Amino acid sequence: MSADEYEPSPEAWVRDQVEAIEAAGDTNAAQVMDRPVVLMTTRGAKSGKIRKVPVMRVEHDGTFLAVASKGGAPEHPQWYHNLIAHPELELMVDTERWTVRARRIEGAERAEWWERAVAAYPPYAEYQTKTDREIPLFVLERV
């Protein structure tokens, strides 16, 4: 398999959701915890292979956010490392796809987006209490 080939997630629920989205050509074909998602297509930090992952849809004025919560686990989700290593990615929202650059946010900007994330999906607040790490937030800005 070449580095430019898609390698499905080892997680069955992620594979199933990506397959549903790709088959329908629409991110509305899948949900996470009964909430809408967007689909990130990233490059693996170590493998260089194409990876796809649905993340909760958090949006403000046409800009999207990726919340690296991993349900409050002590470690970051794998895709976090992909965004750090390769911040340019494809974002699919509904039936549209475009290139974005992931930018990790801090301080007041993070606090503002955190409120939006919790408003979109209230369990994020509980996830933060489960872990000692500050849950990373990435603004996904159109290139």
- Residue 120 tokens read as 């979109």
Residue 5 sits at φ, ψ, to 5 deg, of -90, 150
The whole-model pTM stands at: 0.95
Question: Which tokens is 113 given?
Answer: 């987006």
Segment (H or E) for 61: none
Give φ, ψ of 67 to 5 degrees. Answer: -105, 115
Residue 26's Cβ-count burial label (10 Å; 0-12, 13-18, 19+) is middle
Q: How far apart are CA 108 and CA 56, in angstroms?
A: 22
The model's pLDDT over 38-53, given as tens digits with 9 standing for 90+, comes to 999 999 999 999 999 9
Domain boundaries, the chain: 12-142
Q: Are strands 50-56 and 63-67 parallel, antiparallel or unpaired?
A: unpaired
Q: What is the full per-residue pLDDT of the chain (143 aa) written as tens digits? A: 456 889 999 999 999 999 999 999 999 999 988 999 999 999 999 999 999 999 999 999 999 999 999 999 999 999 999 999 999 999 999 999 999 999 999 999 999 999 999 999 999 999 999 999 999 999 999 99
Position 45, amino acid: A
CA distance 76 to 70: 6
In a 13 Å sphere around the CA of 41, the CA atoms on its Cβ side amount to 18
Give the CATH fold of the 12-142 domain.
Answer: Pnp Oxidase; Chain A (2.30.110)
Q: Left if phi > 0, otherwise alpha if psi is -120 to 50, otherwise beta: which for 74?
A: alpha
